[in-house]
Structure 1
Amino acid sequence: SRQRFSLLLLSGLSSGLDGKWSLFSSDGSVSLPAEVPGCVHSALQQQGHIQDPYFRFNDLSYRWIALNNWTYVTTFNVSAEVRTKQKIHLVFDGVDTVASIWLNGVILGSTDNMFRRYEQSSFSWDWGPSFPTMGLWKGVRLEAFDILFLVFPVCPDSSLSQWAVQVELLVDVVQKINGQITLSIPELDSEQTVETRFLSGKTKNTFILHINTVKLWWPNSHGDQPFYQLSVRGFQDGFLILNTKSKVYFRTVELVQEPVFGSPGLSFYFRINGKPIFLKGSNWIPAHSFQDQISPAVLRNLLQSAADANMNALRVWGGGVYEQDLFYSICDELGIMIWQDFMFACATYPTEDDFIQTVREEVVQQVQRLKSHPSIIIWSGNNENEAALGTNWFSIPAAERPRYVKDYVKLYVNNIREIVQEEDQSRPFLVSSPTNGAESEREGWVAADPYDPHYGDTHFYSYGHDCWDWRSFPRTRFASEYGFQSWPSFSTLQPVSIKEDWSYTSNFSSHRQHHEGGNQQMLQQAALHFNLPNSTDPLSRFTDTLYITQVMQAQCVKTQTEFYRRSQTEIIEGKGHTMGALYWQLNDIWQAPSWSSIEFGGKWKMLHYFAQNFFASVLPVGFEDGDTLLIYAVSDLSQDLKLRVTVYSWTHPDPVCSLKSDPVLVPGGSALAIFKQPVAALLAGCGRCTRLTCLLTFHLEDGGGQRGPTNQHFLCSPKDAQGLQRPNITAEVQQDESGFTVTLHSAAVAAFVWLDVGSVPGRFSSNGFLMVSRNATVSFTAWRPTSVAELSRSLSIRSLADVY
């Protein structure tokens, strides 16, 4: 539970409300300066009272912080100019969480909701530490005014050829005034002036600016992300009283749920600017346990990494936080669509009047703050709470279930949904994820089977089945969560551990794993297709095991994502027409095993390098059905494509044979089978190949050459491959005007070649790849100054055969 803390404010001695405060524990044992925005943990660490909270077992050692009560104190001056204003607000943008606020000995109010601005994030889960934070995690300020304007531009449309820019002004005035509001977008030669009257008190005023031709905002890889500057000016008696600018983007979004030919159920996909878009991406969790320690550089690096892996969408998951404004602004710039959950997850919530009221204020504030961002394409009321009720996660007795369903509808439908639809008509709203969408609504908002693949979106996790068997995955309309765990790299774990921790069976390894049975599940899944590391050197065995978990995770998520991408234009036994793949999860909150593809600190796991390929705009996908090999061409673009298949022996990096198909027109936004042949016939045509001795690579070509990545298909589990040998890869690091390159030389075919430069931050152009040539070159982009000498010293190379 949250502990209470207090805020004491004394006017007259210093200036400013952000910046330096004093912080005291309730028992008087700790007194220290503190930064605002910030939290108690950060203040204690900055002043040397505690070590890095992420080091070893400090999440246990520092539980005393959350069990104490704390008081923030500051003093400030109120200038003569401020005192002349007729209204002064003391604004807290984010208080975490239960607090009372005092000014000069007088209590002003209390707080109980960290997601509201005052005039909760959950913690731990199965991928993070438990640090119940307290403090002023967002800014504190005085607002002094006679007239206060808050401007919220949104862009609904009537058609793609006629746009209406809707501008909402929330106005707080002491006494009614008459004035003028001028809206203009100079680049579009558009301007409109409206005579208006502002009544005393708080009012919401809506103005419309009509536009004809505009450049549209598109998701990543589907077009550009242009914006315009909207100017809003207000005049009273000829005097300028409001002058502000805001970015305006133009795009439409529709969630299409309609009958599907040849299938029961309904479709579930997004149309952006009238075009069906397959959502390619992942799920976002908080980037740090202590929100004040997330820098703009960290946010930009993570989101740029998503865009560079060909993602066009992220789901901001409902168990974290509503992200800061900069997060959404970067997504606007990069063309990353956001599925935005409200912060409710995996629990039943109260519906008493005081809780409903604080939720209603939370929803209004967050929707008003965020609705001008084109990146947000949908609001979703909660994470997994429909599924929790529908499949009875909480063992609710049958007689009590109607009351829980009634409370669920009251909170998410009658309140959150109602407010969102009133505040923002420009994008769709879902009550939950996963959900059957329109079918759930028909069934009273809680479907009998919220995982029905004929409707809505699904979450799917199964660690016992063979992840190379595509038949075990649901052929769903939209996959909004799925994934497998892996461990981060040794260089990420090393700063928060000591030598005795460097074992897969150590207390440290067990403590960092918050998913029950997770460490064993990873090894069991890896052992289905790979030999597990067995080095007699303890450190080598540990680092090899970290590597094999990343190989397993990358291959598992690749197989599942490719299944979803090739299912987008197929209906089989009434299932399919899959139009989204958002794996769990993009980022990490600390140095530990998780489902992420990016480690804490920004280092790409093997999975993220694989995502570059399996989310590519043009992709060949190979799989076996029975003993027949099929290869699909998946394309976001409409073009003629031909397939080239090459067969290699595991024993040496020279092709055994090669096949090429005739060009086939692959429509944009489709997946088309362009190759089908029994494996036995394919191998017989190559003369000296068997399933155990050979493997395949394939790529797509257009008139100008190769399009998209080269993919591969293993004809047997690599642990059964005959001829797999250590490739003895050597490397040479070089630097020229374009940056650093690493040239590799291999004596044999090498699978899952992994380059690692330890603690040097940066990323390679490709990694974890299959090397079927004697020479290969990859580039390295450093995130801080480095040198050829440092990279050469730090570079290590592993391949699959090296860890056996």
Structure 2
Amino acid sequence: MAISPSQAENLLGSRYPCPSVAFSTNPFVCLIATGGKMKDQRMVNEDLTTGWNFKQTDTEVWLPVKKVPTVVHLDLLDNKKIPDPYTDLNEIDVEWVGKKSWTYRVTLPGHTIRNEFRTELVFDGLDTFATVKLNGSVILKSDNMFIPHRVNVTGLLKGNDQLEIEFDSALLKARDLQKVHQDHKYLCWNGEPARLTTRKAQYHWGWDWGPVLMTAGPWRAVHLESFKSRIADLWTEYEVDTAERSVHGWLCTRIEGQNVGEVTFCIEMAGEQVFKGTTSLEEDGTARLAFTLPKTDLWYPHGYGKQPLYQVSAALFANGSELDSRSKNTGFRHVELVQQIDKIGKSFFFRINGIDVFCGGSNWIPADNFTPRISDTRYRKWIQMMVDGNQHMIRVWGGGIWEEDVFYDLCDELGVLIWHDFLFGCGNYPCWPELLQSIENESSAQVQRLRHHCSIVIYAGNNEDYQLQESEGLTYDYEDKDPENWLKTDFPARYVYEKILPNIVRKYSPSVPYHPGSPWGDGKITSDKTVGDLHQWNVWHGTQEKYQIFDTMGGRFNSEFGMEAFPHIDTIKWFCTDPSQLYPQSRVLDFHNKADGHERRIATYLVENFRTQTELEPFIHLTQLVQSEALMFGYRGWRKRFGQDRLCGGALVWQLDDCWPVTSWAIVDYFQRKKPAYYALARVLAPIAIGIQRAHHDWSVTHAHPAATSNFEVWVVSSRQEEITAKVEVKFLSIKSGAEIKTKIEKEIRITPNGTTDVLKGVIDNTNEEPHVLAARLFIDDAVVARDVDWPQPLKYLSFEDRGVEVVYRGALIQVTAKKPTKGFVFEERDGILLSDGAIDVVPGDEIKVRVTGLGDGDEPLKWRYLGQDEE
């Protein structure tokens, strides 16, 4: 019985397009139409998504599984066997799940496989200690959730075949491994030390923003493949001549199965063929073909150019018949990590196709503890938020996962650069031989899988493992260059970070720079601000400095920094189902904040800067204003330094997202509700932004005695590549009355391309001038393109009554005005509604227009709030 081409594509999956085909009822026989005769030649793939059951291994009760990929918590939830771990205190009630063994099974559909075909069971990811049986016989044992497996089952399928996978408790197995390998110093931050033994996502053990939920199951696809020969891999090796905009290199593929035939390579752009060629297979099953593209559309991060993606494809032929085909999208770009000696140390910034890029962006953790339920739509919304928020780089953090294909595809498509950690985080990892081999296998497989993604511009060996080494006094002699010596020390993982991983990147992805860790700086201490990248946690953690001096605390690249804030009130009401617990210090709300000492740290930054609140919604607003202000002070100053001789190459806030509903450092919560900080960063990272700031005066050291005078400065930053003529306006507005207390300043300027333009400096007379804001605007062709407002600090000393705020809806625009300077104006974040701005400082004479999408004519207007509103 024939089926349609669209059904064929659904059956095969988009990775294996099969044009002009008809199919028999046997899904493993793909018949090519050639001159009226049918020849069973092509490879066939079938995903095993349905028909599964699972059980607790030591019981007899099998329960249905909706679909694979999955993890056991999702299936227990579907079968109403556990409460939702994300609500109330339920995380505690489901701890038992991670201490049990779980078994999954499926009956394979009947097949008639011709003898000359090879059949393989393919496991894209098994979490984590898995024993796979086919008809009762063990065919695979796996102990690394990040290694894909292929098992040759040719001749073993008899019909009505039973596939069964038993998943041991990773928690208990890890503890056993720690006991076996007792000669290592098991030291870590977050989770328990046993996690260091096991190649499982480290955040599953719990982190200072995430729960302890020890998953198990076929977390990625399971499928059957049947083929004579298949294209196992397809990749390009190339160099870019940025001046000529030409690309030349090699198209490469690796074949498995019968080593016969030839390969036809093709490169297309927007459906137009730009290269085609054919070559024979080498004896080792590879094929390589030189190519040149004389005039190439190069790939850029968004805002710096376009994101053209070329489709590179390979088709395997034998005796005139196509056996398999494969295609990937890739962009051609040249990446440099510029590390040059300069006046303060060594630079650390990225140059893409010859253009220096300030990498303002975010850190990324997995967007759910149960990753199989993150939809493609949800992934797209996350990455689109990066683009809409003017963020150019996302860092895939080392305690998470090698992400789903769609994550990288979206970064390629939308122009978001990726800093990618290898998956080691906050620990002193052991290095017994079998574990080293597993690490090498994992890293080789994943780097090969990802090497076509143009968005990946750096690999880093780990997250904060060198920091832990320093903190715990572990051995690290940078001058010792003998890797065998490293394995004999109490910090053996240096062998991984400085030998295994750089060799893998050099072999499989040589165009991508490698960095031994994050933070790391040429063997210097990780807190050195003159070299490498820096995790600056002396705001919030550490010495808990005033956030107003964040900009003075940065390094050459600030790859982590942050400030906590409560999530949206609707998010809190979702995870806290008991109304009596809806107050800022309740047990449930504390439980949904995993950060050590969070009560003290939140309280410290609130009482230092604001008049505190005890009611929940005003309290939420204050914590979000603290976060917004803190991150703004950091980003604003560090971006300014980029334009000053590239003194700072980037800033990545910890963090963009959450893995469950929680109070954390995220600037967007689990349900993708933006916090005010998101908008503040979008303004600072805009293609052209203006900054105005008075010198910091530490009010706590001087016992609230004000400085007699305060210096201030105004500057403009631009990522545009051309010089632009503009006008700067600075007003001095009374906080009490809103009146101008002295004559405004206006100045014509020419904005420096891709740099910082110093506009003016001045002095505030605090003795004779009443408290006032400095309000700066930037005009291009008489249109306001950027704003910034500087306030006397701390804000708790100021009064905000009678601000005279007015909000008017005019179609898709909301107009906001104020009679007096107003701080931290925010709209509610309503699901399905998109806003162009938020966390706004509104001053007299400056009408703010906010675009709103998704709000219908009959819908309730958005609620809004600003600092001091509850005190009026």
What TM-score do you get using the length of structure 2 for normalisation?
0.81
Residue 95 of structure 2 aligns with which residue?
Answer: 63
Q: Distance in 1 between matches of 2:545 and 2:275?
A: 61
State the 1:190 CA deviation: 3.9
- Aligned residue type for 1:492: T
Alignment of 1:572-587 (within 5 A): 577-587=647-657
Q: Distance in 2 between matches of 1:180 and 1:789?
A: 60
Residue 565 of structure 1 aligns with which residue?
Answer: 639
Contact 2:247-2:292 within 8 A present in 1 as well: yes
Q: Distance in 2 between matches of 1:230 and 1:472?
A: 44
Q: 2:715 aligns with which of 632, 642, 651?
A: 632
State the 1:663 CA deviation: 2.6
1:129 matches 2:173: no
Q: For 1:616-637, what per-residue CA distance to the aligned partner results, in whole angstroms no more than 9, with x for missing partners? A: 1111122233721011211112
Alignment of 1:253-652 (within 5 A): 253-260=335-342, 262-263=343-344, 265-392=345-472, 403-404=488-489, 407-436=492-521, 439-440=522-523, 447=524, 449-462=525-538, 463=540, 464-470=543-549, 473-497=552-576, 498-534=578-614, 541-570=615-644, 577-625=647-695, 627-637=710-720, 638-652=723-737
- Aligned residue type for 1:519: E
Residue 773 of structure 2 aligns with which residue?
Answer: 695
Question: Which has the higher mean CA deviation after the structures are superposed, 462-471 or 609-618?
Answer: 462-471
State the 1:791 CA deviation: 2.8
Q: Distance in 2 between matches of 1:219 and 1:251?
A: 10
Contact 1:466-1:525 within 8 A present in 2 as well: no
Residue identity (%): 24
Residue 9 of structure 1 aligns with which residue?
Answer: none
Q: 1:766 aligns with which of 837, 844, 847?
A: 837
- Aligned residue type for 1:196: S
Residue 853 of structure 2 aligns with which residue?
Answer: 781
Contact 1:248-1:372 within 8 A present in 2 as well: yes
Q: Distance in 2 between matches of 1:558 and 1:327?
A: 27
- Paired residue secondary structure (1:469): helix
Q: Distance in 2 between matches of 1:337 and 1:495?
A: 33
Q: Distance in 1 between matches of 2:753 and 2:848?
A: 32
Residue 6 of structure 1 aligns with which residue?
Answer: none
Residue 7 of structure 1 aligns with which residue?
Answer: none
Q: For 1:121-180, what per-residue CA distance to the aligned partner results, in whole angstroms no more than 9, with x for missing partners? A: 122210111111111111000111110103433353152233124333121123x32434
Q: Distance in 2 between matches of 1:757 and 1:352?
A: 50
Q: For 1:332-360, what per-residue CA distance to the aligned partner results, in whole angstroms no more than 9, with x for missing partners? A: 11110000111111112221221111111
Q: Distance in 2 between matches of 1:457 and 1:305?
A: 25
Alignment of 1:213-224 (within 5 A): 213-224=295-306
State the 1:731 CA deviation: 4.4
- Paired residue secondary structure (1:36): coil
State the 1:761 CA deviation: 3.4
Contact 2:460-2:518 within 8 A present in 1 as well: yes
State the 1:402 CA deviation: 8.0
State the 1:22 CA deviation: 0.5
- Aligned residue type for 2:712: L
Q: Which runs of 5+ in 1 are unaligned?
A: 1-11, 441-446, 535-540
- Paired residue secondary structure (2:120): strand
State the 1:658 CA deviation: 5.0
Q: Distance in 1 between matches of 2:429 and 2:468?
A: 12
Q: Distance in 1 between matches of 2:384 and 2:735?
A: 36
Root-mean-square deviation (Å)? 2.7
Q: For 1:671-722, what per-residue CA distance to the aligned partner results, in whole angstroms no more than 9, with x for missing partners? A: 23211011129x97xxxx42x2x212102223x1345321110024222125
State the 1:599 CA deviation: 0.8
Q: For 1:278-309, what per-residue CA distance to the aligned partner results, in whole angstroms no more than 9, with x for missing partners? A: 11101011000101110111111111111100
- Paired residue secondary structure (1:647): strand
- Paired residue secondary structure (1:663): strand
Q: For 1:744-797, what per-residue CA distance to the aligned partner results, in whole angstroms no more than 9, with x for missing partners? A: 565543211121155x33332211211224865423223xxx6344433xx322
Q: For 1:650-685, what per-residue CA distance to the aligned partner results, in whole angstroms no more than 9, with x for missing partners? A: 23455455533433333222123211011129x97x
State the 1:743 CA deviation: 4.4
Residue 107 of structure 2 aligns with which residue?
Answer: 75
Q: Distance in 1 between matches of 2:457 and 2:401?
A: 18
Q: Distance in 2 between matches of 1:180 and 1:602?
A: 45
Contact 1:13-1:76 within 8 A present in 2 as well: no
Q: Distance in 1 between matches of 2:439 and 2:416?
A: 27
What TM-score do you get using the length of structure 1 for normalisation?
0.88
CA distance 1:87–1:281, change in 2 (3 Å) = same
CA distance 1:767–1:158, change in 2 (3 Å) = closer
Contact 2:392-2:417 within 8 A present in 1 as well: yes
State the 1:209 CA deviation: 1.5
- Aligned residue type for 1:100: T
Q: For 1:210-252, what per-residue CA distance to the aligned partner results, in whole angstroms no more than 9, with x for missing partners? A: 1111111111111111122333233323333343333231111
- Aligned residue type for 2:756: A
- Paired residue secondary structure (2:860): helix
Q: 2:333 aligns with which of 251, 271, 274?
A: 251
- Paired residue secondary structure (1:679): strand
Q: Distance in 2 between matches of 1:612 and 1:713?
A: 17
Contact 1:282-1:583 within 8 A present in 2 as well: yes
CA distance 1:387–1:757, change in 2 (3 Å) = closer
Residue 801 of structure 1 aligns with which residue?
Answer: 868
- Aligned residue type for 2:839: G
Residue 5 of structure 1 aligns with which residue?
Answer: none
Question: Which has the higher mean CA deviation after the structures are superposed, 280-289 or 500-509?
Answer: 500-509
Contact 2:814-2:849 within 8 A present in 1 as well: yes
Q: For 1:462-490, what per-residue CA distance to the aligned partner results, in whole angstroms no more than 9, with x for missing partners? A: 22544343277424111111111111011
CA distance 1:467–1:640, change in 2 (3 Å) = farther
Q: Distance in 1 between matches of 2:644 and 2:280?
A: 55
CA distance 1:26–1:506, change in 2 (3 Å) = same
- Paired residue secondary structure (2:91): helix
Q: Which runs of 5+ in 2 are unaligned?
A: 1-25, 29-45, 151-199, 478-484, 697-709
- Paired residue secondary structure (1:662): strand
- Aligned residue type for 2:78: Q
Contact 1:466-1:528 within 8 A present in 2 as well: no
Q: Distance in 1 between matches of 2:817 and 2:389?
A: 26
Q: For 1:67-107, what per-residue CA distance to the aligned partner results, in whole angstroms no more than 9, with x for missing partners? A: 11110011012421x34443211110010111100000100
Question: Which has the higher mean CA deviation after the structures are superposed, 162-171 or 372-381?
Answer: 162-171
- Aligned residue type for 1:481: E
